Amino acid sequence: MTLKTFLLGACSAMAFVANAASAETLTIATVNNSDMIRMQGLTSEFTKANPDIQVNWVTLEENVLRERVTTDIAANGGQYDIVTIGNYEVPIWAKQQWLLPLDGLGDNYDMDDLLPAIRGGLSVDSKLYAAPFYGESAMIMYRTDLLEKAGLKMPENPTWEFIADAAKKMTDRGNDINGICLRGKAGWGENMAFLSALNNSFGGRWFDENWKPQFDQPEWKEALTFYADLMKEAGPAGASSNGFNENLTLFQQGKCGMWMDATVAASMVSNPKESTVADKVNYAIFPSKEGVNNHGNWLWSWNLAVPASSQKAEAAQKFIAWATSKEYTALVASKEGWANVPPGTRTSLYENADYKKAAAFAEPTLAAMTAADITKPTVKPVPYTGGQFVAIPEFQALGTTVGQLFSAVIAGQSTVDDALAAAQATATRDMTRAGYIK
Amino acid sequence: MARKVTTGAKIGWTIAAWVVALLIFFPILYALITSLKTEQEAIAGFSLIPSGTFENYVTVQTQRDYFKPFMNSVILSLGSTILALIIAIPSAWAMAFAPTKRTKDILMWMLSTKMMPSVAVLLPIFIIFRTFGLLDSRVGLTVMLTLINLPIVVWMLYTYFREIPGEILEAARMDGASLWKEIVYVLTPMAVPGIASTLLLNIILAWNEAFWTIQLTTTNAAPLTAFIASFSSPQGLFWAKLSAASTMAIAPILILGWFSQKQLVRGLTFGAVK
């Protein structure tokens, strides 16, 4: 065989490669969270009941997943039949017609059982575009022993003023105990999730009704100054690089008096296998500022959706209906206990006596989720929805840039005034370029 | 005349070489150490002493299938390397032994394609792959890896071929060898050290490529780079498991590099001394 013949043969072979995926093999893109891993482990239960459907999992890092799925949907790649996305993406993607409405979940699905706050965030024009797999808000997780030692009692509706006082009194740096642990790592889903919720609870907002950025307003200055001072006086060293995982470890090792973060962390800090302080943890609703009736409005859910490019929408909806059903919750409970079921999506779970008995964090979680309203996240009027984020496509980039500016403040590389001025300038430029500000 | 080297200088240079070698190797060593820690130990801070648990390796193996991405890595790196050599050997021959006044420009142009960030062509490449049904296929990814490493392969082979006297090839031609025979039976055997090191380097580059191998695959063609990426978690500790997955992914190429280091060094220094 001559070289020419070989090359011609090779080129022809490449040109005729066909997609090997079978008609009923679902490809599901997901992230590596414990609830997702559990779902992968239980997939055989679904395929047993639906032998005509096979499931392939693609697990990716959160940002890579977003990038991959965005490319795939935008270029109509059709590589995924189900994608795992947050409630930030769902309304944006649905309006761009990147997602199919979930109208084939079946009569037994009990859509009315979904928590109204969660369902509202996943619906556009009253149509559900993603089914919630698990949901979360934010709340205070605190050490009962340290609070008692400080001579304080957690009020039913704690204020930031109380939290600051408690954090300072609980701090014992000689024994490596920090009064408070908060996110400091830069990122729209990292420190800006917390700081946006904090700003909401201080009465601030990201944009006014005309999309003018509000970093030059007193609320942002007050909130950021409060955060920076608190972290300096009662926060851990190197807090500017701490995200969810770092703070989780600090809390589990007994190095935090309080931690304000996603409610999903409650099952981890109260798990005696992982946490050294499991029996000394209690929970309270996200604080508000004295005189401002706003608890931050943090609301997040990981959801399953069908991209418009999928050729197997019917089978995909069948899987989604199974994975987000009450029956799936019961299945997890029977295999791994009630404390391990995916939380924050269905009202019935919070009425279940077994769940309430197994999960001490059930009530505070439900209270936090019920209090969150992403359709009206701030005291003042705003043109956007979303609590710890702003539901516009530009927020990912802008939130991360502002997050870097604010992270520099607690790293001691910048001042509150400089960071706010830079944030105002950046946000004004980006929003003007994007056409929001005329 | 050889220079005299004192014992003190020898010891000093040896220590310096070890320090540099350890510094270069340290990230891999630390990944190995971290893989033997519990998740809590891994995130707690810098420590060189693990508790010695193998739990992460068990978890990694239980949660994901290692064998399939491993086989994909082998197929993709070997396939793309062989394909690149098939294309590059004749190209480098032409440039080394039958240069034109534009040869240097072509070489520079080929190298310049490496200067463009991959993400800049992500969408066009993605659409081409989708159109030809090459998404998540080993054939498509083999072609992709061949193309992105081809400039380096051509450049390396061109450098080696230039060290071979053209008179030997002329003599073969005088004896009646065809072009094909000249390349296969005369040039290639003489350039074996250079071809071997190019082959090894290209296998390593293809094995470690982590942009296209993640962007263009889902399940069927996903290699070990995608396997590693799947262990990162936004909510939950993962450093130790990720380190175990990384160690499992780099172990085969590390072993290959260890056993072929003589050939690699010989090939890379080929022609350095005349």
Instruction: Give pLDDT, residue A1.
Output: 46
Best mutation target among A5, A12, A17 (most B Cβ atoms within 10 Å) is A17
Together in a domain, A328 and A394: no
- Over residues A371-398, the pLDDT tens digits come to 898 889 999 999 999 999 999 999 999 9
Q: Compare A19 and B166 and report the one with higher pLDDT.
A: B166
Q: What is the pLDDT of residue B271?
A: 54
Strands A127-128 and A123-124: antiparallel
Chain B residues with CB under 8 Å of A246 CB are 43
Tell whether B236 lies on the interface with A, counting CB pairs under 8 A.
yes
- The pLDDT profile of chain B, 274 residues, written as one tens digit per residue, is 567 788 889 999 999 999 999 999 999 999 999 999 988 888 877 889 898 899 999 989 888 889 999 999 999 999 999 999 999 999 999 999 989 999 999 999 998 988 888 989 999 999 999 999 999 999 999 999 999 999 999 999 999 899 888 888 889 888 888 888 888 888 888 888 889 889 999 999 999 999 999 999 988 999 999 999 888 877 677 889 999 999 999 999 989 888 888 777 776 666 544 4
Structure tokens at B223: 């290699």
Cβ–Cβ contacts within 10 Å for residue A102, how many? 25
Which residue in chain B is spatially nearest to A247 when comparing CA positions?
B43
Q: Which of A424, A428, A386 is nearest to A405 (CA)?
A: A424
Q: Are residues A317 and A271 in the same domain?
A: no
The residue in chain A having the minimum alpha-carbon distance to the alpha carbon of residue B217 is A79
Residue A324 sits in the same domain as residue A420: no
**Distance between CA atoms of residues A136 and A296, nearest Å:** 13
Query: Cα angle at A100 between A97 and A101, to 5 degrees?
Result: 110
* Closest residue on chain A to B140 (Cα): A14
**Per the structure, how many domains does chain A have?**
2
Do A405 and A333 share a structural domain? no
The pLDDT score that the predictor gives to residue A12 is 46
Q: What is the pTM of this model?
A: 0.83
**Nearest CB to A20 within list B220, B232, B238:** B220
Asked if A415 and A401 touch (Cβ cutoff 8 Å), the reply is no
Which residue in chain A is spatially nearest to B183 when comparing CA positions?
A3
Quote the minimal CA–CA distance from A218 to chain B in Å.
Answer: 33
pLDDT value for B273: 45
Residues 6+ apart with CB under 8 A from A32: A59, A60, A61, B230, B231, B232, B233, B236, B238
Whether the Cβ atoms of residue B144 and residue B193 lie closer than 8 Å to each other:
no
CA distance A392 to B269: 55
**To the nearest whole angstrom, how far is the Cα of B185 from the nearest Cα of chain A?**
15
B64 touches chain A (CB under 8 A): yes
Q: Is the ipTM of this complex over 0.85?
A: no
Q: Are residues A167 and A182 in the same domain?
A: yes
A5: in domain: no
SS3 letters across chain B: CCCCCCHHHHHHHHHHHHHHHHHHHHHHHHHHHHHCCCHHHHHHCCCCCCCCCCHHHHHHHHHCCCHHHHHHHHHHHHHHHHHHHHHHHHHHHHHHHCCCCCHHHHHHHHHHHHHCCHHHHHHHHHHHHHHCCCCCCHHHHHHHHHHHHHHHHHHHHHHHHCCCCHHHHHHHHHCCCCHHHHHHHHHHHHCHHHHHHHHHHHHHHHHHCCCHHHHCCCCCCCCHHHHHHCCCCCCCCCHHHHHHHHHHHHHHHHHHHHHCHHHHHHHHCCCCCC
Place A5 in a pLDDT band, splitting at 50, 70 and 90: low
Beta bridge partners of A304: A84, A131
Single out the residue of B35, B60, B237 nearest to residue A252, CA to CA: B237
Report how far residue A333's alpha carbon sits from residue A356's, in angstroms, rounded to the nearest whole number.
12
Q: Between B133, B180, B229, which is nearest A61 by CB?
A: B229
Give B136's contacts in chain A (Cβ within 8 Å).
Answer: 19, 21, 79
Residues A149 and A104 placed together within one structural domain of the fold: no
Structural domain for A415, as ranges: 138-298+379-433
Interface of A with B in 227-246 (CB under 8 A): 244-246
Question: Which pLDDT score, from 0 to 100, does residue A66 have?
Answer: 85
Which residue of chain A has the CA closest to B127? A75
**Residues B63, B71: Cα–Cα separation, whole Å:** 18
- Report the pLDDT value the prediction gives residue A22, as an integer from 0 to 100: 45
pLDDT at A19 over 70: no
| Min Cα separation B139/chain A (Å) | 6
Q: Is A162 exposed, middle or buried (0-12, 13-18, 19+ CB in 10 A)?
A: middle
Chain A contact for B237 (CB, 8 A cutoff): yes
Please indicate whether, in this complex, the C-beta atoms of A40 and B63 are within 8 angstroms of each other: yes
CA–CA gap between residue A200 and residue A295 (Å, rounded): 8
Set of chain A residues whose Cβ sits within 8 Å of the Cβ of B90: 3
Contact residues for A88 (Cβ-Cβ < 8 A; gap 6+): A300, A386, A389, A391, A395
**A358-364 mean pLDDT:** 89
CA–CA dist A130, A320 (Å, integer): 9
Contact between chains at A56 and B218 (C-beta distance less than 8 A): yes
Contact A180, A256 (CB under 8 A): yes
In a domain, A368, yes or no: no
> Which of B235, B237, B238, B241 best probes binding to A when mutated, by most A CB atoms within 10 angstroms?
B235
Could you report the per-residue pLDDT of A294-353, keeping only the tens digit for each? 999 999 999 999 999 899 999 999 999 999 999 999 999 999 899 889 999 999 999 999
Same domain? For A420 and A316 the reply is no
Cβ A253–B90 below 8 Å, yes or no? no
CATH at A241: 3.40.190.10
Beta bridge partners of A54: A25
Specify the pLDDT at position B268: 66
**Sign of the torsion angle spanned by Cα atoms B121, B126, B127, B128:** positive
CATH of B64-268, one of 1.20.120.1770, 1.10.3720.10, 3.30.1540.20, 1.10.1380.10: 1.10.3720.10
Interface contact flag, A264 B235, Cβ < 8 Å: yes
- pLDDT on residue A21: 41
Per DSSP bridges, beta strands A25-30 and A82-86 are parallel
Instruction: Identify which of A13, A56, A64 has the shortest CB distance to residue B219.
Output: A56
* Local confidence band at A76 (pLDDT 50, 70, 90 cut-offs): confident
Tell me if A4 is assigned to some domain.
Answer: no
CA distance A13 to chain B (A): 9
- Average pLDDT over chain A reads 91
Residues A425 and A290 in one domain: yes
Q: Give tens-digit pLDDT for A27-62.
A: 999 988 888 989 999 999 999 999 999 999 998 888
Chain B residues within an 8 Å CB radius of A14: 132, 134, 139-140, 143
**Residue A118 — φ and ψ, nearest 5°?**
-70, -45
List CB contacts (< 8 A) between B64 and chain A: 59
- Please give, rounded to a whole number of angstroms, the shortest distance from the CA of A146 to a CA of chain B: 22
> Is A274 in the B-facing interface, judged by CB distances under 8 Å?
yes
Q: Are A14 and B229 an interchain contact pair (Cβ–Cβ within 8 Å)?
A: no
Q: Does the beta carbon of B9 lie under 8 angstroms from any beta carbon of chain A?
A: no
Preferred mutation among B218, B225, B228, B239 to probe A, highest tally of A CBs within 10 A: B218
Q: Which residue ranges make up each domain of chain B? A: 64-268
